[in-house]
């Protein structure tokens, strides 16, 4: 019994002598195995690494021992490699356990650090672009996207099984979503402004005003903007037959996929007008949802769908690619106005595709 106690004490002492990076027990696994083959040094004697004297003996008696010494050294080296492998595997397991234990806290700290950095850049950009307040950071999107259903009063006959039509995303987070329609105005300042402010938005494109400069929207896509369907020629769809509606919607689906490499999942009908044939045609070529809008932004004012003329969690904001020729201001002016409203009411702009 007392020999067992002495043995345990010796092993524990060896573990404590050189703790590993993630704890003494893990680092000591290789050390204990290696030191077991070496005699304990006398008091005051420099400890030697395992096998050092054996290698000297091998050199002195090389002619006598021949290949036998080499085989013994090879065996010892294999043993040391095994010890190092055990140590590495143990450290890996310990690291995985530590990461598992500290994962949520570390992830939260990293997220907070990232948000702080983004906000500092946003604050500088807000000053450059003349915003009254720095845009608020959007919260993390939900792990699971909310279930989207058609807004009451926006149904069509036999709507079941057709894409939902909605103006607001169901969420309790104080976020809104910015969407820009058609593609007529191609202001390079908009691309720079939105990138520097790090404000997400979605574009719903009509080919007849986009095709003169696909490159502008390729740059937009490269900056993380999702490109969606707003028909080929922007007609009033309910006046068209099912076949003609399908040509407008599915033709634009194919055009966007060919030009930009990704088939849209979202479709917005021109003027927000649709009927059952519209939704049937949209579904037939891959459309999953039909987002309309709760408010519309201009450079000098906002227009509201709701009676209280206010924002609500999950509201979708519509605006257009327009300039001074049709507006009382530019696209950057429009962004300044909409962000003044959004930020002053305590909302952040989030990415629509993270929720729908």
pLDDT at residue number 70:
43
pLDDT at residue number 102:
57
CATH number, domain 144-354, options 3.40.50.300, 3.90.105.10, 3.20.20.370, 3.60.10.10: 3.20.20.370
| 140 neighbors 278 (Cβ within 8 angstroms) | no
Q: Phi/psi of residue 43, each to 5°?
A: -60, 130
| 176 neighbors 314 (Cβ within 8 angstroms) | yes
Which H or E element spans position 3?
A: helix 2-17
Question: pLDDT below 70 — which residues of the chain?
Answer: 1-102
Residue-wise pLDDT for 99-152, tens only, equals 444 578 888 888 888 888 889 999 999 999 999 999 999 999 999 999 999 999
pLDDT at residue number 189:
98
Domain ranges of the chain: 73-128, 144-354
Distance between first and last Cα of the chain: 69
């Amino acid at each position: 019994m007392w020999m067992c106690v002495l043995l345990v004490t010796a092993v524990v002492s060896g573990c404590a002598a050189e703790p590993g990076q993630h704890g003494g027990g893990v680092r000591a696994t290789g050390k204990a195995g290696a030191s077991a083959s070496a005699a304990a040094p006398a008091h005051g004697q420099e400890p030697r690494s395992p096998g050092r004297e054996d290698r000297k003996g091998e050199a002195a008696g090389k002619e006598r021992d021949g290949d036998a010494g080499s085989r013994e050294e090879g065996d010892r080296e294999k043993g040391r490699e095994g010890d190092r492998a055990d140590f590495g595997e143990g450290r890996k397991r310990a690291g995985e356990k530590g990461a598992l234990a500290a994962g949520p806290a570390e992830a939260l700290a990293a997220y907070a650090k990232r948000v702080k950095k983004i906000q500092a850049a946003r604050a500088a950009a807000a000053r450059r672009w003349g915003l009254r307040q720095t845009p608020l950071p959007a919260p993390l999107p939900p792990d699971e996207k909310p279930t989207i259903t058609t807004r009451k009063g926006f149904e069509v006959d036999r709507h079941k099984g057709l894409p939902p039509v909605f103006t607001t995303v169901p969420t309790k987070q104080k976020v809104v979503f910015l969407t820009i329609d058609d593609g007529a105005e191609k202001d390079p300042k908009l691309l720079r402004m939105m990138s520097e402010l790090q404000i997400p938005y979605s574009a719903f494109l009509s080919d007849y005003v986009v095709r003169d400069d696909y490159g502008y929207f390729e740059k937009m896509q490269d900056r993380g903007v999702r490109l969606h369907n707003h028909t080929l020629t922007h007609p009033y769809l309910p006046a068209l037959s099912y076949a003609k509606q399908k040509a407008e919607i599915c033709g634009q689906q194919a055009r966007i996929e060919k030009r930009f490499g990704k088939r849209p999942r979202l479709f917005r009908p021109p003027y927000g007008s649709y009927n059952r044939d519209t939704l049937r045609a949209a579904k037939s070529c891959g459309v999953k949802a039909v987002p309309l809008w709760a408010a519309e932004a201009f450079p000098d004012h906002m227009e509201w769908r709701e009676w209280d003329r206010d924002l609500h969690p999950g509201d979708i904001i519509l605006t257009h690619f327009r300039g001074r020729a049709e507006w009382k201001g530019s696209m950057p002016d429009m962004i300044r106005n909409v962000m003044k409203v959004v930020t002053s009411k305590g909302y952040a702009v989030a990415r629509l595709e993270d929720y729908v």
